Structure 1
Amino acid sequence: MPPLALLLATTRLVSLSPVDISIIALYFIMVIGIGLYLRRFTTTGEDFFLAGRDMTAWIAGLSFLAANLGSLELMGWAASAYQYGILATHWYWIGAIPAMLFLGLVMMPFYYISKTHSVPGYLKLRYGEPARVLSAVTFGFMTVLMSGINMYSMALVMKIVLGWDINFSIWVSSLTVAAYVFLGGLLSAIFNEVLQFVLIWFGAMLISILGLVEAGGWSGMVARIHQNFPGQDYTHLWSTLGHFSDNPMGIHWTGIVLGLGWVISFGYWTTDFLVVQRVLAAKDLRTAQLAPVIGAGFKMAVPFIVILPGLLALAVLPEHLMGEAQANATGGHSYNEVLPLMLARYCGPGLLGLGITALIAGFMSGMAGNVSAFATVWTYDIYRPYIKPAATDDHYVGVGRWSTVIGVLISIGTAYLVMQFLSIMDYVQALFSFFIAPLFGTVVLGMLWKRATGPGGFWGLLCGTVSSIGMWLWVKVDPSALRYVAMSVNAKDMAENMYRALWSWIICVTVTVVVSLMTRPDPTRSLAGLVYGETNIPSNAAVPIYKRPLFWAGVVAVVFVILNIIFW
């Protein structure tokens, strides 16, 4: 049999019609075309790495959200919704909205006024070179690991829906992303992300609508879930969190509020350069503050296209899904395959092409976000200061282009690590607890506490990161340690991640405070534009109230509270 035929020989759920193939082909042509067209506008480092700092609030806000709305979101949270029920919605509401509003109103002025190219760049200005190097290295490491998730997710869709070999899918899809980011940098990534945002909504909404029709609406879906899974409550957001054993995740509300709502979410949305980079491309400070608020408004609606398909799968799929390792051993379907299974269940010719294109768009969005962020941090925070500090701007643009290709190639290797976890989101939250949780402690202290010093920032970040990885290894070696790390022997992987993030943040903050108080404070003049109380933030008093970030943040906050009450 020819090699290509071997790649396509696995069992598939559906067959594509000529219409479906045309839709998918048109999408690939469009994204490459956008990259080719925008290359002429990316001649300087500012253009390639920060899109010329000329984005409107709507473009920056949608790109800010779309960079996060990748295959990780579509595949991972549908899987988690099947595994943990509606509790997965916490990662969109309490695990995102307060942090996004905090970024826009409180932290964005410091990022934007300092004119930094990256979060490690801010740490260099605030704490010095050691903190910048540590954060740049850990961020680069995390980014290529996260890129592997997007590759694996897309390849999984192709394997389940179309029957393509998973290795073939990884290489074809990832090289396409490398091509258009290589051509247009962040500008190309942002414009493609806005296109992908629209496609994701149209494609993913099909599953939710058709699934609710089959299940008999929300009440019919809830009744079916209770019938299929008696003894477990998958449909309440807060009422089951009073005790560790009352919910599918094995978590207490303190883990959700403090571990997720405070440490993980604030750490990700305010310090992960993958998303912050999009807002730094805004044309002025008010626009940069408004962009995360716009993103937060759309973020509240995302569970209806991501979490709802997982809940519907609990109600309508005839078989019970399982963890990845068990699925590989038995030949069954894993949690990670929920969305492809639902797509194959409902979408016929035409609709199937649109649905698959939405998943491909999600993959492209998440992958492009990771590689463009990796290229920026590598070029500005590692290559320029330590390898070739006196090169021309054209040289750094060239380095940025080729580092996107190298980042993609490294990420291909990391894609296979994802297969060792029960679900995609268990893997992701473990990475966040390692790198994002302690970084948030370092950044927020640097912005809000003038007394924090360079040695304090470095040692706090290092101790927080090492302690988180150490706790993870401790539980792997001695599972009984779970009672100390996650405060319960009933905790699942996701609950363990939440508590480990909380402990690592506490350790980071404690070490930073202690070391800072033991070392000489920085001169006040060096903190201008970097710390609260030493930064002159422009007022929005002359702007109509309906154009102020604070007004729209209040609107989003009210809707956020109402939604949590409705699904209590």
Structure 2
Amino acid sequence: MSLGGVDWGVLALYLVFVLGIGVVASRRAKSGVDFFLAGRAIPAWVCGLAFISANLGAQEVIGMGASGAKYGISTAHFYWIGAIPAMVFIGVFMMPFYYGSKARSGPEYLRLRFDEKTRALNAVSFAVMTIISSGVSMYALAKLIQALHVFDAPFAHLGLPQTWIFHGAILTSALVVLIYIYAGGLRGAIYNEVLQFFLIVAGFAPLVWLGLKQVGGWHGLQASLGPSYTHAWAGMAHATTNRLGVDWFGLSMGLGFVLSFGYWCTDFLVVQRAMAANSMSAARRTPLIAAGVKMFIPFLVILPGLIAIALTSAPDKNGATVAGPPAAVGAVVQHAPGVIPIKIDAESGKPMLDARGRPQLDYDLATPNLLLRYFPTGMLGVGLTALLASFMSGMAGNVTAFNTVFTYDIYQAYIRPGAEDRHYLSVGRLATAFGIAASVATAYMASQFNNIMDLMQLVLAFVNAPVFATFLLGMFWKRTTGHGAFAGLATGITVAALHHGLTLPADNLVGIKGGWIAVTHSYPSEMAQNFWTAIWAWSACFTVTIAVSLMTRPKPEAELAGLVYSLTPKITDERGAWYMRPVVLGVIMMIGVIILNVVFR
């Protein structure tokens, strides 16, 4: 499908605004605090929308649509169990430590609380994670460009292979984001993220409405797909009777506690937005404002996946049929109007098969293809701009977090301490370029997964799950020591690697998805493997940290004021209306998420 002039105009106007905001923000990015922390002068509502938008990247918009098609409405657990409680917890309990300590990053807080080696380990692992996440955003955009086929004719005219479109899209997107972040720093990223949030809503709300209208509304989806797709808690008593492949304990512990709290409470990508707020009260309200919005995001990003699978035949879908000669039995068959295509290998041009020889559906194309199906000229430009906005917000968020951690927690700490602020500002801009270049390489790794959300949860299981145990003990147990924190964090990461190397999701080949040591256990799905990897990593870190801390000497209590809950004065001065106080907001958010879980049980 080719875009019309109106569509190109909408896309061009968006890029002008994005680059323009970066240029305007660059006028105030004259110091390290301005570039890396936006001068700590951003209002709470702006930080709140940026907090949610930085997470609402391409890996979420496309990945959650893919997960909706693959796992059904139970994907909403990533929000109603795997986000809201943790966002309430960081707003009410943890932000006072981050903001009050005046730390410039998550790893720097670990230095203040523990020691340099703990900071270094977390800084390196976090930097690697942001590079991978940014690469996934690049991959998602390149997949989108391929799905549109808008560059097929120009590449054919130049005599270039069509497979080069994927590579060209990655390199072009990298250049655009480099200019945008290099100029404006965190302030430019935050205000662009607010713009991108509203574009995402404007682009996807009509898509969901049109899709639901065709399939007969929510009741039509239920009739077409069955309870395994449309009931969030269907079959959760046993891992083998639900689409996620994980029972209630694995879901609650792996997603609801370890992965959720590990991400929302310790990931500097989102914490950085709250740390840019103009006061302690604003910093605490930031994740709570975001939580109120986050509750309703599943209706924008997950429902397109359910609608797409309702229009596509799949071997395990309720009522699906298989047609063709005997050799095709068990294969995926595309009905007209099929929306989700078979995943094609970018190099060979042949279908990608699972361990049983069945072609895999390319779930990542569920949302883009649905958009092409429903949107006419003009609206198509708005929808594509929404996808582009999700890519920009996700990648920019990871890059701004990377350049801050690299500059302060690696370069300043170990390479050149004591330099002028202007020097670190220059290093931060160079780190932006390096981070984007490294992201290009990791974009190709994401092509091995038919659902990029599976890859992202795997990365979080390695990095965020163990570090959450470190933060939790450090903030709420004054006896935790630096030696204990380092030993526990290193053990958690190692255990995650061992668990991944010894297990493999069903119907997958040994390699990047696991089993590279030996296959001792098979999980029903990749997501189930991710949850249990996180559980093992967190448990190992938690246990080892406690054991080593009991055998080593802690810091004097005088050095822990403002860093540990029991040694920090409680906040009593809460200004503003009662309904804007963090504790009250937190209670309201928890009541809302309980209601949603009951309604979609």
TM over 0.5: yes
Q: Which residue of 1 aligns with 2:128?
A: 141
Q: Which residue of 2 aligns with 1:271?
A: 266
2:364 aligned with 1:336: yes
Task: Return the offset for 1:329.
Answer: 2.9
- Closer, same or farther in 2 for the Cα pair 1:174/1:143, shift >3 Å? same
Note if contact 1:50-1:277 (Cα within 8 Å) is conserved in structure 2: yes
The letter of the residue matching 1:458 is: F
Q: Which residue of 2 aligns with 1:193?
A: 193
Cα-to-partner distance string for 1:386-439 (whole Å, 9 max, x where unaligned) = 111111111111111111011001100110000112310111111011011000
2:394 aligned with 1:362: no
Q: Which residue of 2 aligns with 1:3?
A: none
Note if contact 1:324-1:336 (Cα within 8 Å) is conserved in structure 2: no
Note if contact 2:221-2:230 (Cα within 8 Å) is conserved in structure 1: no
Distance in structure 2 (CA, Å) of the matches to 1:382 and 1:57: 30
- Closer, same or farther in 2 for the Cα pair 1:153/1:460, shift >3 Å? same
2:283 aligned with 1:288: yes
Q: Which residue of 1 aligns with 2:555?
A: 522
> In structure 1, which of residues 89, 101, 123 is the aligned counterpart of residue 88 of structure 2?
101
Q: Which residue of 2 aligns with 1:397?
A: 425
> In structure 1, which of residues 292, 299, 303 is the aligned counterpart of residue 298 of structure 2?
303
Distance in structure 1 (CA, Å) of the matches to 2:574 and 2:267: 30
Distance in structure 1 (CA, Å) of the matches to 2:16 and 2:103: 34
Distance in structure 1 (CA, Å) of the matches to 2:341 and 2:38: 43
Specify every segment of 5 or more residues in structure 2 that has no aligned partner in the other structure, as ranges: 152-164, 313-334, 353-358, 504-514
**Where do 1:109-148 residues align within 5 Å?**
109-148=96-135
**Where do 1:365-376 residues align within 5 Å?**
365-376=393-404
> In structure 2, which of residues 206, 217, 241 is the aligned counterpart of residue 246 of structure 1?
241
Q: Which residue of 2 aligns with 1:256?
A: 251
The letter of the residue matching 2:207 is: I
Aligned residues: 544
Note if contact 1:324-1:421 (Cα within 8 Å) is conserved in structure 2: no
Distance in structure 1 (CA, Å) of the matches to 2:342 and 2:118: 38
Cα-to-partner distance string for 1:456-514 (whole Å, 9 max, x where unaligned) = 000000000111012111221366422xxxxxx45211001001101110000000000
Quote the RMSD (CA, aligned, Å): 1.5
More helix by share: 1
The range that moved more, 505-514 or 546-555, is 546-555
The letter of the residue matching 2:302 is: I
- Closer, same or farther in 2 for the Cα pair 1:325/1:18, shift >3 Å? closer
Distance in structure 1 (CA, Å) of the matches to 2:429 and 2:128: 18
The letter of the residue matching 1:225 is: L
The alignment partner of 2:249 has SS state of: helix
Distance in structure 2 (CA, Å) of the matches to 1:251 and 1:326: 29
**Where do 1:439-454 residues align within 5 Å?**
439-454=467-482
Task: Return the offset for 1:540.
Answer: 3.3
Distance in structure 2 (CA, Å) of the matches to 1:23 and 1:163: 15
> In structure 1, which of residues 481, 485, 506 is the aligned counterpart of residue 520 of structure 2?
481
Task: Return the offset for 1:224.
Answer: 1.8
Q: Which residue of 2 aligns with 1:154?
A: 141
Distance in structure 1 (CA, Å) of the matches to 2:14 and 2:576: 40
Give the alignment's TM-score, normalised by structure 2. Answer: 0.88
Task: Return the offset for 1:245.
Answer: 1.5
Note if contact 2:340-2:369 (Cα within 8 Å) is conserved in structure 1: no
Note if contact 1:325-1:422 (Cα within 8 Å) is conserved in structure 2: no
Q: Which residue of 1 aligns with 2:448?
A: 420
The letter of the residue matching 2:588 is: V
Cα-to-partner distance string for 1:24-79 (whole Å, 9 max, x where unaligned) = 01111111111111111110111000000011110010000000001011110100
Specify every segment of 5 or more residues in structure 1 that has no aligned partner in the other structure, as ranges: 1-13, 227-231, 483-488
The letter of the residue matching 2:520 is: A
Give the alignment's TM-score, normalised by structure 1. Answer: 0.93
Distance in structure 2 (CA, Å) of the matches to 1:542 and 1:439: 33
2:368 aligned with 1:381: no
The range that moved more, 544-553 or 432-441, is 544-553
Identity of paired residues, percent?
Answer: 46
- Closer, same or farther in 2 for the Cα pair 1:89/1:250, shift >3 Å? same
Distance in structure 1 (CA, Å) of the matches to 2:342 and 2:88: 35
> In structure 1, which of residues 17, 32, 55 is the aligned counterpart of residue 4 of structure 2?
17
The letter of the residue matching 1:391 is: A
The range that moved more, 293-302 or 465-474, is 465-474
2:63 aligned with 1:72: no
Distance in structure 1 (CA, Å) of the matches to 2:32 and 2:421: 6
Cα-to-partner distance string for 1:301-358 (whole Å, 9 max, x where unaligned) = 1001100000111212443847746796328861111011101110010000000000
Distance in structure 1 (CA, Å) of the matches to 2:117 and 2:203: 45
Q: Which residue of 2 aligns with 1:214?
A: 214
Q: Which residue of 1 aligns with 2:492?
A: 464
Note if contact 1:154-1:363 (Cα within 8 Å) is conserved in structure 2: yes
The alignment partner of 1:234 has SS state of: helix
Task: Return the offset for 1:253.
Answer: 0.8
Cα-to-partner distance string for 1:339-378 (whole Å, 9 max, x where unaligned) = 1110111001000000000000000000000100000000
Task: Return the offset for 1:223.
Answer: 1.0
Q: Which residue of 2 aligns with 1:495?
A: 528
Task: Return the offset for 1:525.
Answer: 0.6
Distance in structure 2 (CA, Å) of the matches to 1:157 and 1:479: 36
2:234 aligned with 1:225: no
Task: Return the offset for 1:90.
Answer: 0.6
Distance in structure 1 (CA, Å) of the matches to 2:597 and 2:435: 39
Distance in structure 1 (CA, Å) of the matches to 2:295 and 2:242: 23
Distance in structure 2 (CA, Å) of the matches to 1:212 and 1:528: 54
> In structure 1, which of residues 534, 550, 555 is the aligned counterpart of residue 583 of structure 2?
550
Q: Which residue of 2 aligns with 1:8?
A: none
